[in-house]
Amino acid sequence: MKRAEILDEAKKCVCGQREQEYGSPEDNFKAIAGMWSEYKGCTFSALDVAMMMALLKIVRIRSGGGSGDSFVDLAGYAACGGEIAIRV
């Protein structure tokens, strides 16, 4: 998979069907952050969720268990995290 293809696929994921199915990544990450915060007893932000999900993908890729989709997801989480961070 070429880098442009990875970025194109990531854009489709975070700006297309998944957003229509699950809502905006920002809102979704805020909901996840709330659940994580309750579960762990400390505060997580939407940006924390984006970065920790990116780390999950990095671990999968590093362990050899990642696929092309892992790189697409990593790019998507980075894009969502960047947008959240700039809004903060």
Express each pLDDT in 2-56 by its tens digit. 999 999 999 988 888 777 788 888 899 999 999 999 999 999 999 999 999 999 9
Q: How confident is the model at residue 87 (pLDDT cuts 50, 70, 90)?
A: confident
Helix or strand run (H / E) with residue 44: none
Helix, strand, coil shares of the chain as percentages rounded to 5? 80, 0, 20
Packed helices 25-40 and 68-87: angle between N→C axes, nearest 10 degrees: 90
Is 45 strand, coil or helix? coil
Alpha-carbon gap, residue 88 to 68, rounded angstroms? 31
